Amino acid sequence: MTMEHLLELDKKHFIHPTSSIQQQQEKGAKIIVEKGEGIYLTDKNGSVYMDVMSSLWNVNVGHGREELAEAAAEQMKKLAFSSAFSTFSHEPAIKLAEKIASLAPKGLNAVFFTSGGSESNDTAFKLVRHYWRIQDQPNRRKIISLKRGYHGVAAASTSATGIPEFWNMAGQMMTDFHHADTPYENGTDKAIVSLRQLIEAEGPETIAAFIAEPVQGAGGVLIPPSDFFKEVRNVCDEYGILLIADEVITGFGRTGKMFGVENWGVTPDLMSFAKGVTSGYVPLGGVIVSNHIHDVLKEKSKGTLFHGYTYSGHPTAAAVALKNLEIIEKEELVENSRKMGEELLKGFQKLKEEIDIVGNVRTIGLLGAVELVQDPKTNKRFSPDYQVAAKVIEALHQRGVICRAVTYEGTDIICFSPPLIINPSQIDSLLERLKGAIKEVKEGLTT
Ligand code: PLP
């Protein structure tokens, strides 16, 4: 099909996820991606882009891996799909559950499978409420999460998301969801005080769980202070609240560790995952629960566990995930994520010395951010009228880089989450293009 024809059909029939529907109608899609290889994407016109977001923070092993296509084809030829409901089971899901248990922090050994991150978080919320209900504490229903946290778009996960624009779409958020301050701006102590106040105000005996990302991704790659999660774990233990780590972005090597919580030395009670478990080649997610929760569910659940998706434990998705995890381990991509993240940070720090609109820069593994500010000494932000981040994204696009900005609450944050296979010369090339893009935008601001 020609590009023109595709664009016309796109406008007419395709409602894009998280997009301006008005802009889509006026301007149409901008890039029609046709091919992916390594860290690169090629569009229908033959233009090549560095995909430094791993598409949606998920293509951890890079694009175009034939081994994954072969794993899917092999499984499909044998058994593409068969349900895992009730007493049915199959080898790929069993092996994958065992594999994920072996990678997860000690004490988390049982997995419930879903098709993505939103389903995983909704599952986690239902599981914790069920856990309390079967232990005669049905009032423990409330879920606390962090402002600026992102947990997905299903009914409950959108309510746990701490970015109010997401609730508007649903009319309002569900009851029993509450948001505490992120430690991003005011540090651990103030955030923990806010969390305690919220728990006390709501009543500790009404709270089922606290959920947070080990590093907030969509909120702007906000890396918490190193003591934050330990303090959160203490507060949860004190009040008997379960701790859920949303590892949808941070899982499977993204932060230079297999799971994000390993950076903070805490063990959660549940972990939700998706994205990197298959590197996005097929949809798959899940929730891994502690031995204790698993025991309570086994001993006290009476009758059917009324929760299950058609595709929970999909054999083809599980086969792809197993091969993907094998690649991550064989190619030592967790280690590469750590090392390349350090190189990226050095480059960001150099940019900060060279260009005076570069404010805070940070990486943790291959999850990074560059903040653009009017005055780096005071961290004074640009007026949103300047649209600084959007202009940098456009200038990067012109230089063949696909990237993402977070402009929520007046910030200008450029986010980075490249495939974990990225090498030093590709990092250099990215930094060179980033420098050119920021300089160009800065010059445009002063002329
Ligand atoms: N949790 C986090 C931390 C995420 O970043 C995302 C998606 O970006 C989700 C949950 C939702 O995952 P999905 O889009 O697969 O439903």
Average pLDDT in the 334-339 region?
Answer: 98
pLDDT band at 4; cut points 50, 70, 90? confident
Query: Does 228 lie in the same domain as 93?
Result: yes
Distance separating alpha carbons of residues 415 and 318, to the nearest angstrom: 30
64 DSSP assignment:
-
Q: 362: CA distance to ligand 1 center in Å?
A: 21
Least confident interval from 64-73, 140-149, 298-307: 298-307
Q: Which of 330, 345, 366 is the last residue of a domain?
A: 330
Average pLDDT in the 281-297 region?
Answer: 98
Query: Does 255 lie in the same domain as 141?
Result: yes
What are 42-56's pLDDT values in tens digits?
Answer: 999 999 999 999 999
User: What pLDDT is recorded for position 16?
Assistant: 92
Query: Does 134 lie in the same domain as 105?
Result: yes
Distance separating alpha carbons of residues 322 and 313, to the nearest angstrom: 12
Q: Using the Cα atoms of residue 216, residue 217, residue 220 and residue 221 in order, give the sign of their dihedral.
A: positive
Q: Which of 264, 298, 330 is the last residue of a domain?
A: 330
Least confident interval from 16-30, 115-129, 277-291, 298-312: 16-30
pLDDT band at 447; cut points 50, 70, 90? low
Q: Are strands 367-372 and 358-364 parallel, antiparallel or unpaired?
A: antiparallel
Q: Are strands 242-246 and 207-212 parallel, antiparallel or unpaired?
A: parallel
User: What pLDDT is recorded for position 143?
Assistant: 98
pLDDT of residue 375 exceeding 90, the answer is yes
Query: Does 149 lie in the same domain as 107?
Result: yes
DSSP string, 318-357: HHHHHHHHHHHHHTTHHHHHHHHHHHHHHHHHHHHHH-TT
Q: Please report whether residue 148 resides in a domain.
A: yes
Q: 152: CA distance to ligand 1 center in Å?
A: 5
Helix segments in 134-182, DSSP class H: 155-160, 165-169
Q: Measuring CA to CA, which residue among 251, 264, 307, 233 is closest to residue 104?
A: 251
Domain of 395: which CATH number? 3.90.1150.10
Q: Which two tokens stand for residue 99?
A: 């594999």
Average pLDDT in the 256-260 region?
Answer: 98
Query: Does 282 lie in the same domain as 226?
Result: yes
Average pLDDT in the 408-433 region?
Answer: 97
Q: Please report whether residue 294 resides in a domain.
A: yes
Phi, psi of 159 (to 5 degrees): -75, -35
Distance separating alpha carbons of residues 197 and 315, to the nearest angstrom: 45
Sequence-distant (≥ 6) Cβ neighbours of residue 118 within 8 angstroms: 151, 152, 153, 154, 157, 158
Average pLDDT in the 308-319 region?
Answer: 98
Average pLDDT in the 383-398 region?
Answer: 96
Q: Please report whether residue 18 resides in a domain.
A: no
Q: Please provide the average confidence, as pLDDT, over all residues in the chain.
A: 96
Q: Using the Cα atoms of residue 214, residue 149, residue 416 and residue 187 in order, give the sign of their dihedral.
A: negative
Phi, psi of 385 (to 5 degrees): -60, -30
pLDDT band at 127; cut points 50, 70, 90? very high
Q: Please report whether residue 187 resides in a domain.
A: yes
Q: 114: CA distance to ligand 1 center in Å?
A: 12
- What whole-number percentage of the chain has pLDDT above 70? 100
User: What pLDDT is recorded for position 22?
Assistant: 85
pLDDT band at 167; cut points 50, 70, 90? confident
Query: Does 252 lie in the same domain as 147?
Result: yes
Provide the domain limits for residue 283: 66-330
Q: Please report whether residue 52 resides in a domain.
A: yes
Q: Which two tokens stand for residue 431?
A: 């930094």
Token pair 């593409």 is at which residue? 80
DSSP string, 189-229: HHHHHHHHHHHHHH-GGGEEEEEE-SSBSTTT-BPPPTTHH
Asked whether 108 and 289 are in contact (CB, 8 A), the reply is yes
pLDDT of residue 214 exceeding 80, the answer is yes
Distance separating alpha carbons of residues 361 and 346, to the nearest angstrom: 10
Query: Does 408 lie in the same domain as 373?
Result: yes
Query: Does 187 lie in the same domain as 136?
Result: yes
From the CB of 152, is ligand 1 less than 6 Å away? yes
DSSP string, 108-144: EEEEEEESSHHHHHHHHHHHHHHHHHTTT-TT--EEE
Query: Does 181 lie in the same domain as 312?
Result: yes
Q: Please report whether residue 132 resides in a domain.
A: yes
More confidently predicted of 28 and 208: 208
User: What pLDDT is recorded for position 21?
Assistant: 84
Query: Does 224 lie in the same domain as 99?
Result: yes
Burial class (CB in 10 A: 0-12, 13-18, 19+), 164: exposed
pLDDT of residue 172 exceeding 90, the answer is no
Asked whether 112 and 286 are in contact (CB, 8 A), the reply is yes
Domain of 123: which CATH number? 3.40.640.10
Q: 393: CA distance to ligand 1 center in Å?
A: 22
Average pLDDT in the 106-126 region?
Answer: 98
Sequence-distant (≥ 6) Cβ neighbours of residue 156 within 8 angstroms: 121, 122, 125, 126, 143, 174, 177
From the CB of 219, is ligand 1 less than 6 Å away? no
Q: Please report whether residue 10 resides in a domain.
A: no
Query: Does 280 lie in the same domain as 419?
Result: no
Q: 436: CA distance to ligand 1 center in Å?
A: 31
pLDDT of residue 3 exceeding 90, the answer is no
Q: Judge if ipTM > 0.95.
A: yes
Q: Which of 315, 330, 345 is the last residue of a domain?
A: 330
H or E element in which residue 400 lies:
none
In angstroms, the first-to-last Cα distance of the chain is 43
Query: Does 223 lie in the same domain as 291?
Result: yes
From the CB of 217, is ligand 1 less than 6 Å away? yes
Q: Whose CA is nearest to atom 12 of ligand 1?
A: 117
Q: Please report whether residue 239 resides in a domain.
A: yes
Q: Structurally, how many domains does the chain consist of? A: 2
From the CB of 151, is ligand 1 less than 6 Å away? yes
